[in-house]
Amino acid sequence: MADIMVLDGDDVSDWARVLSTSSWKHRDACLHPNGLLKFDLDWKWPVLEILDAKLYLFVEKTEPGAAIELWHVQDDSWSYGQSDPEDLWNWPVWHSIGVIGFADTASFSMDVTQHLREELLARDATFSIKITAAGNPYPDIRISSPLAPIQRMRPRIVVEFVGPLATPPVPDLAVSTADLRLAPMRPAPGDSANLQAWVRNIGPGDAWNVPVSFSDGPPGLGQPIGTAVVPHLPAGGGTAAAAVSWTAVRGLRELYVTVDPQNTIGETDETNNSDFRSFLVADREAGTDVIENVESFEYPGLRAWHTDFDVPKQFTYPGPKSFYLNRSGAEAYHGDYSLEMFLDGTADDGTLWIESAVPVDPYRWVDVEVDFELFRYYADIAFQPVVAVSVLDPEVERDFTVLPVGPQVGWTLHSRDASLFTGPYDMVHVAVGLTVTWETPGTFYLDLVRTRAIPKTVAVDLPAATGARSTALLSNRPNPMGPLTTIAFRLAQASPISLRVFDTSGRLVATLREGTEREGFHEVHWNGTDDNGTAVPSGVYFYRLETPLEVESRKLLLVR
């Protein structure tokens, strides 16, 4: 019998994103290569032997074909604010944990059993990891965790060990924002929609008859939507979908999913049992699918928006560094409030912004319009407004477009129009803010931020080289797959279908979907198990879509 120890949250004692040999960001929203990460080891538990240890991370942005390498760091004396940036940039590594490549956004795990055994043998109190990537500059990779309800950056190590008082293995049920889906993605008020969540079991014990509840608003405070029951979640990464029907209500809705809401199932960690995702339910313009959102900061909180920044700490120019984004009544273009943005650039430059996400249909061209009012007391060209429109979450200054600025003071209207292809993504991220290029402080006010997403009606070429109105089986992502992959397909019209996975000998492995499906775009997840819930070995597999009119197959690679 074995016990489980989970290292995350407060156990992640330090991390740093090293920008260059002269700067870094402390506790960035995400890790980037070159980065350092430190776990505190809780050896006060009697650990006799480590049986297994897995490091879980999530890549939320990557360039195609990019790869990272994780290293075990023996010297744990590095820390933010004490070590010189150049020292961190060149911090020595001990030996490699492993290399992993990515084609798209994906979760992954790496075996760190041997490395923790070394730390246990030395009775070391910390375990440090360095992340690197080939090339200079490094490819644009952002690493976070899919299991964090609040912290986007929350790596985790799950350790299976033997101690004097070992207990039976128990599950660890988990959900995240990325697991919540609404179909249709952009319902109008009164529409019936299917609300679905993928639930994971990342613990060492199986879970049976798992209740999954949904609510419009926080559990216990919001409006209950319904509850579904997952019959079985296998240990070690088992996944299953739970879904309920919801009648859409106008406004910005925070839809929550909660696994085991009454805590009737014993778990190793219950902090990852609930999460939410915001969905905008708005009236459509007559005859169109246009989604419009206006923010004037009249109500406390940012509703559909959240703040972010890229303000590196540089040691070449020591000095005070402060910045903030606060709702303020000092100036207002519309109503009584605006968003006050202050950046003390006397030590270095930086960028502040607020961002939101607009729901869109995958594999479609979308026109996005953004405009906002910006107030300034004096014509300082060191400060410039910036805008980002992308299917990827903006993280650094280079993700933004700098807008032209003239000599005007007071309120000035700024706007940006962009046309982009959504690909496999179902959200477009919109961000507006301010950047400073010279060493000078400044205070500005932002108001009446308006975004509009207008889907185009033109046909789109899909990866299967067919029109958007044709039936097509699309490439799975990621490929190669790890614990989970997404298979997408499009139907020209409502039709009976079957989607199955076969091995190289032609033997049926799993039936992923069977029955009549509506016209349009569909996504199905496969967790690398057969119809009996047994994990299949690494290797090449084929997934096949069959309709009464055509049959199409594609190849995928499973790597465990």
DSSP classification of residue 105: S
**CATH number of the domain enclosing 354:** 2.60.120.200
Is pLDDT at 119 greater than 60 in this prediction? yes
Cis bond before residue 137 (omega within 30° of 0): yes
Average pLDDT over residues 20-26: 53
List pLDDT tens digits, range 223-241. Answer: 999 999 999 999 877 889 9
Same domain, 269 and 310: no
DSSP string, 180-218: EEEESSSPPTT-EEEEEEEEEE-SSS-EEEEEEEEEESS
Same domain, 201 and 228: yes
Same domain, 319 and 199: no
Sign of CA dihedral 110, 105, 235, 560: negative
Q: How many domains does the chain have?
A: 4
351 within domain boundaries: yes
Instruction: Give me the pLDDT at residue 143, please.
Output: 57
462 within domain boundaries: no
Same domain, 362 and 319: yes
- The HSE-up count of residue 168 (CA atoms within 13 Å, CB side) is 6
* Weakest-pLDDT range from 363-377, 460-474, 504-518: 460-474
Sign of CA dihedral 198, 204, 206, 211: negative
Boundary-marking domain end, from 128, 162, 196:
162
**517 beta partners:** 495
**CATH number of the domain enclosing 202:** 2.60.40.10
Q: Which two tokens stand for residue 111?
A: 């075996």
**3-class SS at 41?**
coil
Three-state SS string across 333-370, please? Answer: CCCCCEEEEEEECCCCCEEEEEEEEEECCCCCEEEEEE
Average pLDDT over residues 75-101: 78
B/e letters for 124-151, b = 16+ CB within 10 Å, e = fewer, are eeebbbbbbbeeeebbbbbbbbbbbbee
Instruction: Give me the pLDDT at residue 467, please.
Output: 39
Domain carrying residue 484:
472-558
Rounded Cα distance, 488 and 476, in Å: 7
Is pLDDT at 148 greater than 90 in this prediction? no
Instruction: Give me the pLDDT at residue 232, please.
Output: 94
For the chain, first and last CA: distance in Å?
24
Same domain, 84 and 210: no
Between residues 64 and 244, which one has the greater pLDDT?
244
Between residues 98 and 427, which one has the greater pLDDT?
98
Same domain, 346 and 412: yes
Rounded Cα distance, 537 and 546, in Å: 25
When the pLDDT of each residue in the chain is averaged and rounded to a whole number, the result is 77
Average pLDDT over residues 9-36: 59
85 within domain boundaries: yes
Same domain, 273 and 311: no
Same domain, 301 and 407: yes
Rounded Cα distance, 180 and 116, in Å: 34
Q: Are 248 and 191 in contact (CB under 8 A)?
A: yes
Q: What does pTM read for this prediction?
A: 0.44
Instruction: Give me the pLDDT at residue 446, please.
Output: 93
Same domain, 274 and 368: no
Same domain, 68 and 109: yes
Q: pLDDT band at 146, cuts 50/70/90?
A: very low
Instruction: Give me the pLDDT at residue 88, please.
Output: 76
32 within domain boundaries: yes
Boundary-marking domain end, from 140, 162, 184:
162
**3-class SS at 534?**
coil
Instruction: Give me the pLDDT at residue 8, please.
Output: 66
Helix (H) or strand (E) holding 86: helix 85-89
Same domain, 64 and 157: yes
* Cα distances (Å, whole numbers) of residue 468 to 361, 383, 473: 12, 43, 12
Same domain, 438 and 319: yes
List pLDDT tens digits, range 466-486. Answer: 334 478 888 777 767 777 777
Strands (E), 32-105: 35-40, 49-61, 67-73, 95-101
Q: pLDDT band at 214, cuts 50/70/90?
A: very high
Rounded Cα distance, 40 and 159, in Å: 13
